[in-house]
Structure 1
Amino acid sequence: MLNREALACAVGMFIVSGNTVAGGIDLSGMSVVRLFDPGTFIEATYTDISLDMTGEDVGGFETGDVKDDFSDLSLVFKHDINEKYSLAVLKDTPFYAQTTHKTGVFAGLANKVETEGITGLLRYKFDKNVAVHGGVSAHKMDALTVVPAAYIPPDGYRLESEGEASYGYVIGVTYEVPDFHALVGLTYFSEVDNTLKANENGVDTGDLELTTPESVNLDFRVPVSPGNIIFGGIRWTGWDGYKVTAPSGFEVASVTEDTVTYQLGAAHVFSPEFIVFARGSYEAGPKADQDPDNFYGAIKQVGVGFAFTKSKTTVTGLINRVTTDAKTGAIGEFDDGTALALSLSLKQNF
């Protein structure tokens, strides 16, 4: 018998933990698939990410590990109001990136950006097959940039930016066949205009304005035989033209390429209580020459996981391994990078 709750957890974990390393500054992928799950529940997912990205810079020096380990927590509340309406509130980290050059030619150069997101969604079912969804997403972004004195004498450059709440919208449509747990969904996320208070070298210099890009998620799940299902998605993000410029005119970052991430997974139901699944994803990676934050090639991921349900509680786990292709350019010669993400999710149905 198909356990819809456990299967939903497997699909959700597959999506939520799918962007350990990604183009631009994508992290969570802003998945809304939990809105499509049946019932009323709360869920917490914790992910611990260990990265190893090293190489040799243009001066011939070993870079050391330029990416620090980090962790992330996402939360979901989903409620069926009635047969037609349902709602969800999701807390995630839509955007995150961190690079610190500790040794070599670029020693002391560092960038970090982190965005906290809360999204409120409402879904309306026209019938058992067709539904629409939409809502509002609130983002708060903070950022730090450090340039050593070797590049900007005599004292270097430091930009600390603290954001305030900024808002965008979400809209989408789904078609599903509930009896077979089959679904395809298309969701659009608008741009978000962020305003951050900038402090440059210890002086408050005014507002830093930046726009995080629009994006589109295509999600699907399709049964292929009794007890087996495939699921996946495609995410497009319009990074081309993304630019961060401080009030003083100092250009902090820019991106010139959109990104497309492809994900595919499969799940097998061993029993109503126990499901295992495997996943993979691919992103072409930056085609432009290297810069201090984007110095790697194609991004490939593979992971395995499980979902176990007892009564109204489901525990889901995932081990996800990421590799980035080696790349040589203006920053140096970087080896194949690796990352290991361990995710654990606890879901309580009511």
Structure 2
Amino acid sequence: MRATFHLKTLAVAIATISVASMTNAAGLDRSGQDVTAFFQDGTYAEAVYTYIDADVSGKDSANNVPSSNTYVEGGDTGDIAEAYDFFRYGVKTDINDTFSIGILYDEPFGAAAEYTGDSNFVSKGDQNASIQQLTNGQFNGATLGPTIDALKDQAAAEPDAEVRAGIVQQITNLSTVGAIAQAEAGNAGENTNVEVRSQSLTGLLGMKFGANKNFQVYGGPVAQRIQADTKLRGLAYGPATGYTSTSNPDMDYGYIAGVSFSKPEIALKAALTYRSEIDHDIQISETYPLAGLRALGAGASPAQAEAAANRSSDYEITTPKSVNFDFQTGINPTTLATAKVRWVPWSDFVITPPLYNAVSISSGLYGDDGLDLVEYEDDQWQVELGLAKRVAPALAISGTVGWDSGAGDPTTSLGPVDGYYSVGLGAKYNVTKNWAVSAGGKYLWFGDAQGALPTDKIVADFQDNDGYIAGVKLSYQAQ
């Protein structure tokens, strides 16, 4: 009965090319952390290449006043999503009819975005124009300094403590405007961009049990490496313009565990997989021009100001846990149905670089905890349904529909997409008894989202965006 279903030719090509990229999945999710290679029969190996190209463009905000969070439609941002590709590999074999082992490699988390052109996410370098934008035309390069000096004299002569405090706050606000304009000028022509890369190696040991060996428990260690680079440029980032950070690569460890059930006579396989959080202790180098300019304004020497603006330290990033559910069943001898569900609690994930956070705390505006550089409001839910049809002894075709909930709107300006809907097509051709080639693609409609700063200021609006994914897989199977 099992052979009737022709499992090798029913395998769904597109379902093995997981939905990916920060521009079409929630948070930093890319590969979907697929483990279905481990559930293949006999000895199995695969190599998968995936290419993602997305158009994520919108409008920046014409309101660059740091104290105002009101969004005012500005100019075009251009396409901020960079094309991205990655590989996934997997191999497994059965030791006997009870135990199986496998190794999987993927690139689970990442981001690749860059703002170019003439938007407020690119440093212009004109201090006079910057001051005018930052003060809504109230001051310019010629009037800002004298105004600050006059306010200082006024504060010194003011006997009323409450009134004096108000004047001091005005001085602080205008001094910040001057520092922002100076930091902006110091990075003229530079673009905002972010790149996050990760690699993961998973070892698996499975044990089958039950009268017919239908059940399996599996698990093992996970080694994960992650690194990141961030540049914030342009008046959109206010006091943070000019901020730069480089996080050195870090390797740390977690685990995977799951349970599966199979019923070969109807080609049914179901698996529930849990991946743990992984804590990374990362060395980071940060540059924050505003911190140095503030130090200079407070009387620090140039050397002291440079030290205030640059810091190397350690901090922690915890990549999120996840749960994947994979399901397939034969509908008839030539047709297979599939379903994938994925949950990732991105609402628990934050990136909090030490210098960035310390500057936000010193402002006195954001409490004792200060600001995170990246955070998300919601958890991710991802669903994909598919059908595969054997149309010839060595050929199967497949189609999928998918949905991703996103991780909240507004979201970070470094990844302004709120989920997606997708459709996909794929095919698998058995070149020989053991070797097969699969290929497929997906088209995605992205959810509209507003890009926000950690201060909750809306700095951009992204609508009507789309993208595509293309992939190819080479697989070997011997039963």
Aligning the two structures, in what range does the TM-score lie when normalised by the shorter sequence?
over 0.9
2:58 maps to which residue?
Answer: 55
Which of residues 240, 250, 257 in structure 1 aligns to 2:347? 240
Residue 18 (structure 1) aligns with = 19
Residue 48 (structure 2) aligns with: 45
Residue 119 of structure 1 corresponds to: 202
Deviation at 1:233, TM superposition (A): 1.3
Question: Does the residue aligned with 2:8 lie in a helix, a strand or coil?
Answer: helix
| Bigger Rg over Cα | 2
Name the residue aligned to 1:2: 5
- The percent of aligned pairs where both chains have the same amino acid is 28
Query: 1:135 maps to which residue?
Result: 220
Q: Deviations over 1:278-325 (max 9, x none)?
A: 011101224332430242334111110000112211000011111103
2:253 aligned partner? 167
- Which residue type is aligned with residue 381 of structure 2? V
2:84 aligned with 1:70? yes
Is the aligned partner of 1:94 residue 2:111?
no
Q: Find the partner of 2:460 among 321, 332, 337.
A: 332
**Relative to structure 2, which stretch is displaced further, 267-276 or 13-22?**
13-22
- 1-structure distance, mates of 2:353, 2:216: 43
Task: Assess, with a 3 A threshold, how the Cα gap between structure 1 residues 149 and 284 changes in structure 2: closer, same or farther.
Answer: closer
Say whether 1:110 aligns with 2:217.
no
Q: What is the rounded CA distance, in whole Å, between the counterparts of 1:114 and 1:272 in structure 2?
A: 40
Q: CA deviation at 1:42?
A: 2.0
Q: Whose helix fraction is larger, Structure 1's or Structure 2's?
A: 2
- Judged with a 3 Å threshold, the aligned counterparts in structure 2 of structure 1 residues 6 and 117 are, in CA distance, closer, same or farther, namely farther
Distance 1:35 1:185 in 2: 10
Given candidates 33, 36, 54, the residue that maps to 1:33 is 36
Give the alignment's Cα RMSD to 1 decimal.
2.0
Compared with structure 1, are the counterparts of its residues 305 and 62 closer, same or farther at alpha carbon in structure 2 (3 Å cutoff)?
A: same
Q: Which moved more, 1:218-227 or 1:199-208?
A: 199-208
- Asked whether 1:214 is paired with 2:321, we answer yes
What amino acid is the match of 2:317?
L
Unmatched 5+ residue regions in structure 1?
none
Q: Deviations over 1:139-188 (max 9, x none)?
A: 10010111126446798111000222111111110111012210111111
Structure 2 CA distance, aligned partners of 1:347 and 1:25? 28
Judged with a 3 Å threshold, the aligned counterparts in structure 2 of structure 1 residues 154 and 71 are, in CA distance, closer, same or farther, namely closer
Q: Confirm or deny: 8 A CA contact 1:149 1:155 kept in the other structure.
A: yes
Residue equivalent to 1:223: 330
Contiguous gaps of at least 5 residues in structure 2? 63-73, 123-190, 288-308, 358-371, 452-457
Q: Which letter maps to 1:306?
A: A
Comparing 237-246 with 286-295, greater Cα deviation is found at 286-295
Number of matched residues? 348
Measure, in 2, the Cα distance between the counterparts of 1:222 and 1:348. Answer: 22
Amino acid paired to 2:27 = G
- CA–CA distance in structure 2, aligned partners of residues 215 and 190 of structure 1: 7
What's 1:252 paired with? 373
Distance 1:179 1:243 in 2: 46
User: Is the Cα–Cα contact under 8 Å of residues 216 and 261 in structure 2 kept in the other structure?
Assistant: yes
Contact 2:20 2:52 in 1 (8 A): no
- Which residue, out of 271, 274, 283, partners 1:185? 271
- Distance in 2 separating the partners of 1:302 and 1:273: 24
- C-alpha distance in structure 1 between counterparts of 2:437 and 2:256, whole Å: 29
Secondary structure of 1:5's partner? helix
Q: Which residue of 2 aligns with 1:316?
A: 438
Q: CA deviation at 1:57?
A: 1.4
Cα offset, 1:204, TM superposition = 5.7
TM-score computed with the length of structure 1 as normaliser: 0.93
- 1:177 to 1:200, Cα distance in 2 relative to 1, 3 A: same
8 Å CA contact retained: 2:37, 2:46: no
